[in-house]
Amino acid sequence: MGSGKTTIGKKLANNLNHKFYDLDKKIIKYTKKSISELFEIYGEKKFRKLEFNILNLFLKKKKSYILSVGGGTPCYKHNMFLMKKNSKIIYLNAEINTLFIRLLKQKENRPLISKLSNNDLYNFICDSLSKRFFFYKKADYTIYIENKSFLDIVKEIKNII
């Protein structure tokens, strides 16, 4: 949720000469609907079930890749178990204020926050991180991204994988 997973994932994949995939883009391709439409039509619970099924199919088929998943993905069903079984998981840890500034610029493209006031957005970030941290701390590696360039983060990830 605003930590730079997709941007860093693309740069890392390019640097390692691996394919890059974005789980949300896989879901969009499979359903022919945007993530916002899926949330609106099915609600978060059914969306997460669909996300789990597509993640499961993807992980069974692919090897040597970089995959970016949404911030909520590790927190539902057995997604974390699936990802740990099939890959290494890296959590990009960002400060709340950094996430807030980034997400303010992206609100309209994110269904869970698109209708929130700025104050509600800040509270949503705090609440989400406190609920999700239980899952995030299960990642194989945590990278603290504050005051680092994308290139520095990519180098740091390359050194640990």
The reply to whether 110 sits in an annotated binding site is yes
133 vs 25, 87, 110, CA distance in Å? 24, 19, 20
In tens, the pLDDT along 33-65 reads 998 899 889 998 999 999 999 999 999 887 889
Model pTM score = 0.89
The reply to whether 9 sits in an annotated binding site is no
The reply to whether 3 sits in an annotated binding site is yes
Statement: residue 81 has pLDDT above 90: yes
Cα four-point dihedral sign 139, 144, 150, 151: negative
The reply to whether 6 sits in an annotated binding site is yes
Cα separation, 61 vs 154, in Å, equals 25
The reply to whether 102 sits in an annotated binding site is no
Q: Which CATH number fits domain 5-153: 3.40.50.300, 3.60.20.10, 3.90.600.10, 3.90.1150.10?
A: 3.40.50.300
Write down the residue that tokens 């740091």 correspond to: 156
The reply to whether 72 sits in an annotated binding site is no
Statement: residue 75 has pLDDT above 90: yes
